[in-house]
Amino acid sequence: MSSTRSRTSPLRTNIAAMSLVQISNYLLPLITLPYLTRVLGAEAFGKVAFAQILMSYLVLLVDYGFSWSATRAVAADRNDSEKISLIFTATWATQWLLLALAMAIAVPTILLADRLRPDAWLYAAGFTSVIGGTLFPVWFLQGLERLEVVAMLQLVARILALPAIFLLIGEPEDGIWVLLINGAASILSGIAALAWLWRQRVVRWAWPGWLNLFDAIRDGGPLFASRISISLYTTLVPIVLGWVAGPVALGYFHLADKLRSAGQALLSPLSQALFPRLSHLANTDGAAAFKLIRRSALATIFIGGLSSGALWLFADWLIVILGGPQFGPAATVLQLLSPLPLIIGLSNLLGVQMMLPRGLNAAFNGILLTAAATSLALIWPMASHWGAEGAAATILLVEFMVTSCMTAILWHKGLLKPETWSTR
């Protein structure tokens, strides 16, 4: 009985901690959103969104597959200080090399592209978030199941950034400050996380050697391919929308997607806290793993269904409150996106929490690659003909396909039955 309590208590703590992280990442920005949409206007708001989305690809490059591969490795060896120190230093050093690669890609791309060059300083400001993401080893703290540290540092940084939004942004030309303030908050929280690691002596700071850097890249590679595939049917959609339909259409979509993300954020704490725990239980106690999955499925359906229903019912009201009358067309976009918290919550449970811990990496990648190809085939004509609504419909269709395919594969493998987990 005491053993069960010792396993469950940290999980509950981490779910609560990640709830605070989501408050800092999604709900706190909603405080400033009504101000920003009205001060910047749809066009400038769309330009800032385009810069943020482009930078998210560089964040993806620097993160590589480490948020899954390194987290899983740290969770498996968290009681061995030598091993986790080697995992940390090898992964973190690799991330800095990837940051240099990201800069080498970004600078000539922006300067040589006629559509991007006029807003070069906007993209330079956005790059501060890429630096902040490199500084903050969330994946390491997640593997240690010390997510309360992540929550505290990110929440404090976000709160400190709030006054700067209202003080420094007063007209459409101030969009650059949105990116600089967010980047500064990310860098501040990253520095604080490193200071915490130093004080706690969790890591032995030593050069890991080039061979260990190569191992980190090799281990994260397959999962990086998965993350690239996911990005091709998520963040690529608004990029294509902004390119073919312009910043105003992207502004409508971005506001609706911000609200969808806030609704979906209610499930993210559960997902992030579960992954290291299930990665451990899948190899040590399959029956306990399936029991935890079953409880998580009920929570996902309840929270995701409630969130999706609320977004559908209150779409018009939410858009008017947060965006103002000029963002009225975003209400229809939000209704199209509203089922996503439930659908994506289920796909995360089926894919990240069930397929990956059971070693179904190839099938997982195959589904995501198929989804990416489908999205690439649909998004250009959909965005060209129906603008923001077409982009939203594309994402909804592809996410439904992903969840359906994952369900079919798990059913075929027998992994929706408890006895299959118990006999591993």
**In this predicted structure, what is the pLDDT of residue 306?**
93
Are 178 and 165 in contact by the 8 Å Cβ rule? The answer is yes
* pTM as predicted: 0.66
Domain range for residue 423? 233-424
Are 226 and 402 in contact by the 8 Å Cβ rule? The answer is no
Judge whether 423 lies within some domain.
Answer: yes
Pair (49, 93) in one structural domain: yes
Q: What is the pLDDT along the chain (424 residues), one digit of tens a residue?
A: 334 334 445 666 666 666 666 666 666 677 788 888 888 888 888 889 889 888 988 998 898 878 878 887 887 777 778 888 888 889 999 999 999 999 999 999 999 988 888 889 999 999 999 999 899 888 888 778 776 777 778 778 888 888 999 989 988 889 899 999 999 999 998 999 898 888 888 888 888 888 888 888 888 777 777 777 777 667 778 888 888 888 888 889 988 998 898 888 777 766 666 766 776 676 677 777 788 888 888 888 998 999 999 999 999 999 988 888 888 899 999 999 999 999 999 998 898 888 877 778 888 888 988 988 898 889 899 998 899 999 999 999 999 999 999 999 999 888 888 877 765 5
Pair (190, 239) in one structural domain: no
Pair (272, 174) in one structural domain: no
Pair (329, 411) in one structural domain: yes
Question: Max Cα separation, the chain?
Answer: 65
Pair (317, 284) in one structural domain: yes
Alpha helix segments (H runs only) across 265-339:
268-284, 286-313, 315-323, 330-337
The torsion of the CA quartet 297, 22, 121, 106, rounded to 10 degrees, works out to -40
Where is 225: in which H helix or E strand?
helix 210-232
What is the number of structural domains in the chain?
2
Judge whether 228 lies within some domain.
Answer: no
Are 253 and 241 in contact by the 8 Å Cβ rule? The answer is yes
**In this predicted structure, what is the pLDDT of residue 315?**
94
Judge whether 18 lies within some domain.
Answer: yes
Pair (391, 247) in one structural domain: yes
Looking at residue 219, its amino acid is D
Pair (187, 251) in one structural domain: no
Judge whether 1 lies within some domain.
Answer: no
**In this predicted structure, what is the pLDDT of residue 3?**
40
Judge whether 154 lies within some domain.
Answer: yes
Angle, CA 96 vertex, CA 94 and CA 99 arms, to 5°: 115
Among 278, 279, 218, 232, CA closest to 65: 218
Last-in-domain residue among 166, 185, 220: 220
Please state, in angstroms and as integers, the Cα–Cα distance from residue 51 to each residue in 160, 183, 401, following that order: 23, 12, 29
Judge whether 5 lies within some domain.
Answer: no
Pair (210, 261) in one structural domain: no
What is residue 354's DSSP assignment?
I
Judge whether 300 lies within some domain.
Answer: yes
**In this predicted structure, what is the pLDDT of residue 27?**
66
**In this predicted structure, what is the pLDDT of residue 125?**
94
Pair (186, 243) in one structural domain: no
Are 52 and 125 in contact by the 8 Å Cβ rule? The answer is no
Judge whether 226 lies within some domain.
Answer: no
Pair (251, 367) in one structural domain: yes
Can you tell me the distance from the alpha carbon of 422 to that of 411, in angstroms, rounded to the nearest whole number? 16
pLDDT above 90 coverage of the chain, percent: 27
Could you read off the pLDDT of 121-130 as tens digits, one per residue? 999 999 999 9
Last-in-domain residue among 178, 194, 220: 220
Last-in-domain residue among 220, 249, 268: 220
Angle between helices 361-413 and 330-337 (to 10 degrees): 60
Among 192, 134, 137, CA closest to 160: 192
Pair (171, 303) in one structural domain: no
Q: What are phi and psi of 80, to 5 degrees?
A: -110, 100
Pair (210, 342) in one structural domain: no
